[in-house]
Amino acid sequence: MIVVLDRNISSEKLEVITSELKNFGFDVFQSNTRENITLEITGNNSGFDLRKIKVLEGVIDILGITEQYKLVNKKFKTDKTIIKINNVEIGGEEIIVIAGPCSVESEEQIHKLAKIVKTAGAKILRGGAFKPRTSPYSFQGLGEEALKFLRDAADENQLLMITEIIEPSQFDLIEKYTDIFQVGSRNMYNYPLLKVLSKSQKPVLLKRGMSATIDEWLMSAEYILSGGNPNVILCERGIRTFENYLRFTFDISVIPVVQQKTHLPICSDPSHAVGFSDKIPSMARAAVAANTDLIMIEIHDNPNKALSDGPQSLTPDEFLLLINQLRQIASIIGRKLG
């Protein structure tokens, strides 16, 4: 449920109301909008007399939320969540570009690609240090060495960095280096991992599971918010359908749907969705036209020799050309791109 309070309520009265709600047995989460202060209350309220809340001084109304996800719900927080990291605003007017290789293969490689990312005007450098692969014989990543290379390359080019976390035991190590945690599609249902990330204040980019419904995806985000971390970015990366011509089906329609249902920013990852480099530009252009908040593109200086996901990686020249096109589309819909 949502308890709507007077926007001009004093901090003292707010504290009294919050204390009373906790005494009633509720967990309380606060959100401020342009119009009101709202408190999301969760807990066992079976048979509870809501009049006890309505009579509290400063309470305007009590609203029900029928969906299971509460904190990610736009009914709870009408203002869009904007995540600020240094001078980068995620979820604001600017569509943020994330780019880099699937895996960090060497120090020389990631520094070379970081310069390309910077030249394109992108804000976030991506790269895998720990890679969950379908085959146990595939390249699994360089581990902490890759994290060091990625951090140095990002800092040298004034970029933020994002990398994937696979299991809870990696949290302390990765948190030392990264600006943003990435949770891959295989781990969207890894609730122990989501609970660990909920204790951090660093943003989490949560990829949609390959067979996940929208509600299941939002419930996974709810795990992170309910543990105290409000900084979640949802990422569409393609879903499994009956069609197998491409790697996955890129669900562009999810962008406006998610923006209607939640206040969280949404990222689009056409590289993992379609799986073939010649199809990525058209899907990236479509995602920007659909008003995505972030776009993630895989690049490699020599895709034919990439240790992972070479077929879906753009060359630097292809990437720079695409960014120019995306910038024009963003301008048409009233946004910037960088």
pLDDT digits (tens, 9 = 90+) for 121-157: 999 999 999 877 667 767 777 899 999 999 999 999 9
Q: CA angle at residue 116 from 325 to 316, to 5 degrees? A: 60
Does 321 score more than 70 pLDDT?
yes
CA distance linking residue 83 with residue 267, whole number of Å: 13
Of 199, 113, 119, the C-alpha closest to 149 is 113
CATH superfamily assigned to domain 83-337: Aldolase class I (3.20.20.70)
Rg of the chain's alpha carbons, rounded to an integer?
21
Q: How far is CA 171 from the centre of its chain?
A: 17
Question: Which token pair is 293?
Answer: 């908040």
pLDDT tens digit sequence for 88-125: 999 999 999 999 999 999 999 999 999 999 999 999 99
pLDDT surpasses 70 at 264 = yes
What local confidence, expressed as pLDDT, does residue 45 receive? 61
pLDDT of amino acid 36: 76
- pTM score, whole prediction: 0.88
Torsion of CA 277, 279, 282, 283, to 10 degrees: -90
Residues 92 and 336: their CA atoms lie apart, in Å, by: 10
* Look-up of token digits 């569509």: 95
CATH 3.30.70.1140 range(s) for the chain read 2-63
What's residue 324's pLDDT?
A: 97
Question: In the sheet where 27-32 sits, what is the strand order?
Answer: 27-32, 37-42, 2-5, 59-63
The span from the CA of 231 to the CA of 233, in Å, is: 7
Question: How far is the C-alpha of 325 from the C-alpha of 44, rounded, in Å?
Answer: 52
Most confident among 11-20, 77-86, 137-146 (mean pLDDT): 77-86
Residue 182 has pLDDT above 70, yes or no: yes
Residue % of the chain over a pLDDT of 70: 96
Residue 298: C-alpha distances to residues 11, 98, 119, 337 (Å): 47, 8, 15, 17
Residue with structure tokens 């379609």?
274
CATH 3.20.20.70 positions along the chain are 83-337
The stretch 180-197 carries a mean pLDDT of: 97
Q: Which two tokens stand for residue 257?
A: 């749907």
Task: For strands 88-90 and 94-100, give the pairing.
Answer: unpaired
- C-alpha distances (whole Å) from 70 to each of 206, 235, 264 are 17, 19, 12
Pairing of strands 204-207, 232-236: parallel
Report the pLDDT value the prediction gives residue 46, as an integer from 0 to 100.
65
pLDDT at res. 148: 97
**Cα four-point dihedral sign 165, 171, 172, 177:** positive
- Calpha distance 216→189 (Å, rounded): 9
Q: Does domain 2-63 sit in CATH 3.30.70.1140?
A: yes
The predicted structure's pLDDT at residue 145: 94
